[in-house]
Amino acid sequence: AQGFTPELARRDVPVLHRTVNGHPLIWLDNGATTQKPRQVIETLAAFYASANSNIHRGAHTMAREATEMYEAGRAAVARFLGAPSPESIVFVRGTTEAINLVAQSWGRAGLGPGDDILVPVLEHHANIVPWQRVAQETRARVVPVPLRPDGGIDQDAYADLLSMRTRLVVISHASNVLGTVPPVREMIALAHRYRALVLVDGAQAVAHFPVDVTDLDADFYTFSGHKIYGPTGIGALYAKPEILQTMAPWQSGGNMIESVSFGRTTYAPVPHRFEAGTGHIAGVTGLTSALDWLTAFDRNAVADYETRLTAYAQEALATVPGLELLGPAAGRIGVLTFTLPGHSATEIADRLDRDGIAVRAGHHCAQPALAHYGLESAARASLALYNTREEVDRLVASLLELQAG
Ligand code: PMP
């Protein structure tokens, strides 16, 4: 791995060099999606320019090449997550689809009346609504795990809520609205004592710190390519091989079968059984390229840098009179959600946009998390490895100007 500086990363990301409303772009909407390095863009273009083919079909050279690339991508994702084998990785559209797959396949078969699904209050809607729907269908119960005042998960309440009725615990490895990084490894170990499975939503985690699903002992782990410098429309679900083996297909059609007749249809082995239809083949090559790009840096150096930048941003934002920053002081990623008295979230985002600064305003698909603070919306600046202290200073300067009227 090469050493890390944000300048090295910035050099590779073309869009960071454009202007918005006459100002150099400051992209602080990384929680929504990250910007793409040239290497990823070129990989996508190269696939369509010289390698485009469907996979697993047709005995010709390009189909074989595309299949090899696709399967090499699966192996790359497995290595990236510390998964035991490529067969434990299912390609999906993103985190939302991965969670729906688990809810509809594992959940429908495995849940029943009297079963509990524990869901922390800070979860993204993508990790709440699919569980509500499958709970309705199976007459299981979704049990919210409360937060502490600072936005951490209340670990005492969690321990109390776990029981032999708990079949599944879902947890974000990092919160997209509070930045919280819960003690996932310990939470998983505790859940396993009750023989509950644990699904970890890594959408906001994998870009920021190294993850090892084997060390975590996660049963399911999922992330989206577009939040880790890769393309939209592609993501991955990891599931422990012995669990994946027991799961029935979710979507069905081509590519997921072994043989079809009107008398009897058999399914392809895992993971192909879960990849019906033509997938995002180019997206897999782009995702592989994004993982290569990120892992060429020393990941611990990246994580250290982001932690220091986050602390710097917390201190800098605290100098804005009246600004309230949500989420824990430490043990967090650089998702900085805040309110400013006298200014709505939309007003804040609009004012910052005039200065070329992109932040998000709204409920961030986590209404229960905001409701914990009595809020319906807030502004959110979310950092990535290519952001700098100068950009944080410009954010704060614009907020001070807004405050001054
Ligand atoms: N979970 C978390 C924690 C997220 O931040 C997001 C995206 N905002 C999602 C799930 C959903 O990801 P996607 O839209 O890529 O499916």
Say if residue 265 is in the same domain as residue 356. no
Say if residue 385 is in the same domain as residue 305. yes
Say if residue 168 is in the same domain as residue 51. yes
Ligand 1 centre distance from Cα of residue 32 (Å): 8
Q: Check residue 58 and give its pLDDT.
A: 73
Residue 180 in contact with ligand 1 by CB distance below 6 A: no
Confidence of residue 1 (pLDDT cuts 50, 70, 90): low
Confidence of residue 138 (pLDDT cuts 50, 70, 90): very high
Ligand 1 centre distance from Cα of residue 101 (Å): 15
In the predicted model, is pLDDT for residue 353 greater than 80? yes
Ligand 1 centre distance from Cα of residue 141 (Å): 23
State the average pLDDT over residues 103-127.
97
Complex ipTM value:
0.99
Domain that holds residue 65: 43-295
Say if residue 313 is in the same domain as residue 221. no
Q: Check residue 219 and give its pLDDT.
A: 98
Given 295, 330, 355, the domain boundary residue is 295
365 is annotated as an active-site residue: yes
Ligand 1 atom 4 nearest Cα: 203
3-state secondary structure the chain: CECCCHHHHHHHCHHHHCEECCEECEECECCCCCCCCHHHHHHHHHHHHHCCCCCCCCCCHHHHHHHHHHHHHHHHHHHHHCCCCHHHEEEECCHHHHHHHHHHHHHHHHCCCCCEEEEECCCCHHHCHHHHHHHHHHCCEEEEECECCCCCECHHHHHHHCCCCEEEEEEECCCCCCCECCCHHHHHHHHHHCCCEEEEECCCCCCCCCCCHHHHCCCEEEEEHHHHCCCCCCEEEEECHHHHCCCCCCCCCCCCEEECCCCCCEECCCCHHHCCCCCCHHHHHHHHHHHHHHHCECHHHHHHHHHHHHHHHHHHHHCCCCCEECCCCCCECCEEEEEECCECHHHHHHHHHHCCEECEEECCCCHHHHHCCCCCCEEEEECCCCCCHHHHHHHHHHHHHHHHC
Say if residue 162 is in the same domain as residue 262. yes
Q: Check residue 337 and give its pLDDT.
A: 98
Q: What is the CATH number of the domain that holds 257?
A: 3.40.640.10
Ligand 1 centre distance from Cα of residue 347 (Å): 24
Q: Is residue 234 a part of any domain in this protein?
A: yes
Residue 355 in contact with ligand 1 by CB distance below 6 A: no
Say if residue 303 is in the same domain as residue 341. yes
Comparing 110 with 59, which gets the higher pLDDT? 110
Tens of pLDDT, residue by residue over 293-345, are: 999 999 999 999 999 999 999 999 999 999 999 999 999 999 999 999 999 99
Ligand 1 centre distance from Cα of residue 126 (Å): 7
Of ligand 1's listed atoms, the one at least distance from the Cα of 172 is 3
Residue 172 in contact with ligand 1 by CB distance below 6 A: yes
Q: Check residue 190 and give its pLDDT.
A: 98
Tens of pLDDT, residue by residue over 146-191, are: 999 999 999 999 999 999 999 999 999 999 999 999 999 999 999 9
Tens of pLDDT, residue by residue over 27-81, are: 999 999 999 999 999 999 999 999 999 997 778 999 999 999 999 999 999 999 9
Instruction: Report pTM.
Output: 0.98
Residue 94 in contact with ligand 1 by CB distance below 6 A: yes
Say if residue 70 is in the same domain as residue 24. no
Say if residue 281 is in the same domain as residue 303. no
Given 242, 274, 295, the domain boundary residue is 295
Q: To the nearest whole percent, how much of the chain has pLDDT over 90?
A: 97
Say if residue 290 is in the same domain as residue 397. no
In the predicted model, is pLDDT for residue 385 greater than 90? yes
Residue 203 in contact with ligand 1 by CB distance below 6 A: yes
Say if residue 263 is in the same domain as residue 373. no
Q: What is the CATH number of the domain that holds 335?
A: 3.90.1150.10
Q: Check residue 326 and give its pLDDT.
A: 97
Of ligand 1's listed atoms, the one at least distance from the Cα of 126 is 10
Say if residue 318 is in the same domain as residue 375. yes
How many domains is the chain partitioned into structurally? 2
Q: Check residue 59 and give its pLDDT.
A: 83
In the predicted model, is pLDDT for residue 110 greater than 90? yes
Given 257, 277, 295, the domain boundary residue is 295
Tens of pLDDT, residue by residue over 248-278, are: 999 999 889 999 999 999 999 999 999 999 9
Q: Check residue 405 and give its pLDDT.
A: 83
Q: Is residue 37 a part of any domain in this protein?
A: no
Residue 200 in contact with ligand 1 by CB distance below 6 A: no
Q: Check residue 37 and give its pLDDT.
A: 98
Q: Check residue 3 and give its pLDDT.
A: 81
Q: Check residue 181 and give its pLDDT.
A: 98
Ligand 1 atom 8 nearest Cα: 32
- Active-site annotation holder among 51, 157, 301, 365: 365
State the average pLDDT over residues 96-105.
98
Residue 176 in contact with ligand 1 by CB distance below 6 A: yes
